[in-house]
Amino acid sequence: MDAFLNTSFGITILTFIEALAIIVPVLILMAYVTYAERKVLAAMQLRKGPNIVGPFGLFQPFADAIKMMFKETVVPSGANKVLFFLGPMLTFGLAVLAWAVIPVNDGWAIAKINVGVLYLFAISSLGVYGVIIAGWASNSKYAFLGALRSAAQMVSYEVSMGFVMVTVLLCVGSLNLNDVVLAQQHIWFCIPLFPMFVIFFISTLAETNRSPFDLPEGESEIVAGFFVEYSAMAFALFFLGEYTNMILMSAMTSILFLGGWLAPFGIEPFTWIPGPIWLILKIVLVLFFFLWTRATFPRYRYDQLMRLGWKVFLPLSLLWLVLTAGALMLFGWLPHAV
């Protein structure tokens, strides 16, 4: 068996299985995030939420999926056909692609590359292309406005997100995501770097176009923004992409700040539960905050969004970065470079 796994055919098969082992749980989680969102919103608004299809409405996501598949795909007559379909594919493809480097346990990642954090950052910054391309190719005013908003918004929040990541990396001394988690064995980064944790979480809301920063959709002003012309599976791909991105960002938050697969405090009763379960629990917790924010806050006005990104988060994260670097230098806590 080992001999077979070392041939190039064996490695291909193994990688394929590894990829399935991460994509399938992510997709299932994604389906149930849509369900959880409706249930949580319903609970917060004193409604019942989906409760007809299956026990407690648990089969609702599948009913939705089947409905989407059997709807008609409408292509606007003035649309650029190739780009019109490239947009949703790009959104969903990129959201899945990023999972290649997420470590679910010590050394359990498909690609153990030593620039993992940069890879995640690169992939998440590419997500904007799906939106821009879709908005432009639809040949519609509202879609185009949504695309422009999205481009400006995502570029603004990426900068402060980058600074937050650099702060974490200073404390870790490596760009490898596995090392990032192992560096939190004694204390999770969300405690010493708490302000950065808050900035990062809010930036992920903006990066995934979630409420209260869902201006690219803005259904009360620009109908549905960039996906106003999409129907059936093309629309579903945007939908899937958004939720997969949410899960990805939650995973990123868990790994950078909440100790990834590590059990809290590293003490007895917690360590009985295996690492991947802890990671999933943390992801679910962060996802709940996503939904909670959506139920609680009204949408930001566009200039307020820009002001928050450039005038509040950027100086704050830069300041905290300099402070962290200074403190590490002063007390000699700087991790040794590998």
Partner 1 sequence: MIAAIAFYVFAAILLVSAGMVVSARNPVHSVLFLILAFFNAAALFLMAGAEFLAMILVIVYVGAVAVLFLFVVMMLDINFAELRSRFQQFLPIGLAVGVVLLLELCLVLGGWSLAPNSAAMRTLPIAPDVQNTAQLGRVMYTDYILLFQAAGLVLLVAMIGAIVLTLRENRGASRRQSVARQVARNPGNTLEMVDVAIGAGVTMADIRRPLPEATALEHAGHGHDSHDDDHGHGHGGEH
Can residue 133 be called a binding residue for partner 1 (CB under 8 A)? yes
- Count of residues near partner 1 by CB under 8 A: 30
Member of 27, 113, 327, 328 binding partner 1 (CB under 8 A)? 113
Residue 238: C-alpha distances to residues 76, 89, 118, 225, 328 (Å):
17, 8, 24, 12, 42
Report d(CA 158, CA 163) in Å as an integer.
Answer: 9
Residue 259: C-alpha distances to residues 71, 181, 193, 230 (Å):
43, 5, 13, 39
Can residue 338 be called a binding residue for partner 1 (CB under 8 A)? yes
Q: Is 36 helix (H, G, I), strand (E, B) or coil?
A: helix
Can residue 115 be called a binding residue for partner 1 (CB under 8 A)? yes
Can residue 9 be called a binding residue for partner 1 (CB under 8 A)? no
Can residue 126 be called a binding residue for partner 1 (CB under 8 A)? yes
Can residue 336 be called a binding residue for partner 1 (CB under 8 A)? no
For 271, half-sphere exposure in the C-beta direction (CA atoms, 13 angstrom radius) is 5
Can residue 129 be called a binding residue for partner 1 (CB under 8 A)? yes
Closest to partner 1 by CB, 22 vs 148, is 148
Can residue 128 be called a binding residue for partner 1 (CB under 8 A)? yes
CB atoms within 10 A of CB 14: 14
Member of 136, 157, 278, 290 binding partner 1 (CB under 8 A)? 136
Can residue 29 be called a binding residue for partner 1 (CB under 8 A)? no
Binding pattern for the stretch 56-85 against partner 1, x by CB under 8 A and - elsewhere: ---------------------------x--
Can residue 329 be called a binding residue for partner 1 (CB under 8 A)? no
Q: Which residues of 45-64 are buried (b: 16+ CB within 10 A; e: fewer)?
A: eeeebbeeeeeebeebbeeb
Residue with tokens 């990123």: 252
Tokens of 138: 């639809």
- Judged by CB under 8 A, the stretch of 15-23, 92-100, 108-116, 190-198 that binds partner 1 is 108-116
Can residue 175 be called a binding residue for partner 1 (CB under 8 A)? yes
Can residue 207 be called a binding residue for partner 1 (CB under 8 A)? no
Member of 26, 30, 96, 132 binding partner 1 (CB under 8 A)? 132
Q: Where are the alpha helices (DSSP H) in 77-115?
A: 81-97
Check: CB of residue 266 under 8 Å from CB of residue 15. Answer: no
Closest to partner 1 by CB, 65 vs 148, is 148
Closest to partner 1 by CB, 267 vs 337, is 337
Report d(CA 209, CA 8) in Å as an integer.
Answer: 41
Closest approach of partner 1 to the CB of residue 129, in Å: 7
Can residue 224 be called a binding residue for partner 1 (CB under 8 A)? no
CB atoms within 10 A of CB 246: 26
Report d(CA 208, CA 247) in Å as an integer.
Answer: 10
Query: Which residues are CB-contacts of 11 (< 8 A; sequence separation ≥ 6)?
Result: 5
- Judged by CB under 8 A, the stretch of 61-69, 249-257, 303-311, 317-325 that binds partner 1 is 303-311
Residues that bind partner 1 (CB under 8 A): 83, 113-115, 118-119, 121-122, 125-126, 128-129, 132-133, 136, 144, 147-148, 151-152, 154-155, 158, 162, 175, 303-304, 307, 337-338
